[in-house]
Amino acid sequence: MVFIGESGSGKSTCINYFANYFTHSSFDEANHYSNMKIVIPNSICPQINYGSTSNQHTERNVHDNTVSQTQDCTEYGFTWNGKHVKIVDTLGFNDTYSTKDDENIQKILKKVSKFQLATAISITINGTNTRLSTSIKTTLTQLRGSLPDSVFQNLFFIFPNCTEETQNFNLRLIAEFNPSQQRTFNMQNSLFSIKDKSILQNSKLVKKMLQTWKDSVDTMADIMNEISQTSAASAQVFEDMRIKRERLIGHKENLIKKQKSLLNAIKTLDIEKDRLKNATNDQQANRNFAKQTAIPYIELEKKNRITVQFVHTMIQCEFVAKIVDCRMNQA
């Protein structure tokens, strides 16, 4: 069983519920959580008390429910009706830390492909979602694009946070997955959502909590019953999908690089266009501009001087330099 879905949709909580279902452990009126098995910590039960050390959870900070919790795919092993059951918890789509969805999907596909068979791909969607928000839309699109078509027969839809009559999520929003009614389930897995254990003093509340637990146990029995009638799909298709996606991601990164350099070229071109426009405007505005500059120059002036020398009279020409203003080209 592989749990896939948006971050915070309730995958890890659901797996903790299944851990108790498989081990016949239970929330109870007198001991509350004391007999429950915890494979993935949460704020109310932060210590794990079941599972091998090799299958350690990868929760980020169970006391901060504003961030994505599960950081890597982890498998948990159980026995049910004499069969081995492996449950895989996965990283949530729409991680709050970054847009690492592509990377996360690759990790999920790689993890699932390590198994020979995959029987139930359980898509968890918070059942209180009313509209197709951008994040759930992105998640569904990512899911649609990352699941091999051949495992569509193995899809199960689990809607935590609600019961059948309080579900807001409209099934039409997942019509492209072709969900069958026998494979859609509602669960109110609220046991680990309480803020502190002091409310357990209220016996009326504890009775309510016990009832929701019993309802979830019934639902888990229905889920397992349906899964036991489902033929397993070959997990190899997940590896094929991973390789194809890896190639696509490579192409995508190349395209992004090219697009970035194209955008830079467009930006430079825009800057040059602006400069050209400004230059044209300046030229237009200054077309009648005439600059007057005073430049000193030397003018040679011809002067006649008459000199009497004995009997001879001769005209002697003498040049006298005189400084006056005139234009450069004349100088």
Q: Which residues bind ligand GTP (CB under 6 A)?
A: 5, 7-13, 42, 65, 68-70, 92, 160-161, 187-190, 192-193
Q: Which is nearer to ligand GTP, 92 or 148 (CB)?
A: 92
β-bridge partners, 163: none
Cβ count within 10 A of residue 303? 10
Q: How far is the CB of 87 from Mg ion (least distance, A)?
A: 12
Residue listed under structure tokens 């901060």:
64
Q: Which is nearer to ligand GTP, 195 or 305 (CB)?
A: 195
Site stretch for Mg ion (CB under 5 A), options 3-11, 129-137, 195-203, 239-247: 3-11
Q: How far is the CB of 271 from ligand GTP (least distance, A)?
A: 44
- How far is C-alpha 67 from the chain's CA centre? 13
Backbone CA torsion sign across 147, 221, 52, 233: negative
Q: Which is nearer to ligand GTP, 9 or 106 (CB)?
A: 9
Tell me the C-alpha distance between 230 and 58, whole Å. Answer: 30
Q: How far is the CB of 77 from ligand GTP (least distance, A)?
A: 19
69 binds Mg ion (CB under 5 A): yes
Q: Which is nearer to Mg ion, 69 or 189 (CB)?
A: 69
Tell me the C-alpha distance between 73 and 97, whole Å. Answer: 17
Q: How far is the CB of 216 from ligand GTP (least distance, A)?
A: 8
Of ligand GTP, Mg ion, none, which one does residue 190 interact with (CB within 5 to 8 Å by kind)?
ligand GTP
Q: How far is the CB of 217 from ligand GTP (least distance, A)?
A: 14
Tell me the C-alpha distance between 153 and 321, whole Å. Answer: 111
SS3 at position 59: strand
Q: Which is nearer to Mg ion, 11 or 242 (CB)?
A: 11
Of ligand GTP, Mg ion, none, which one does residue 55 interact with (CB within 5 to 8 Å by kind)?
none
Of ligand GTP, Mg ion, none, which one does residue 160 interact with (CB within 5 to 8 Å by kind)?
ligand GTP
Site stretch for Mg ion (CB under 5 A), options 62-70, 200-208, 232-240, 286-294: 62-70
Tell me the C-alpha distance between 320 and 76, whole Å. Answer: 114
Of Mg ion, ligand GTP, none, which one does residue 7 interact with (CB within 5 to 8 Å by kind)?
ligand GTP
- Give the N- to C-terminal CA distance of the chain in Å, as an integer: 99
The answer to whether 323 and 298 are in contact (CB under 8 A) is: yes
The answer to whether 187 and 14 are in contact (CB under 8 A) is: yes
12 binds Mg ion (CB under 5 A): yes
The answer to whether 227 and 120 are in contact (CB under 8 A) is: yes
70 binds Mg ion (CB under 5 A): yes
189 binds Mg ion (CB under 5 A): no
**Which of 219, 234, 232 shows the shortest CA–CA distance to 84?**
232
SS3 at position 162: coil
Of ligand GTP, Mg ion, none, which one does residue 37 interact with (CB within 5 to 8 Å by kind)?
none
The answer to whether 235 and 91 are in contact (CB under 8 A) is: no
**Residues interacting with Mg ion, by CB under 5 A?**
11-12, 69-70
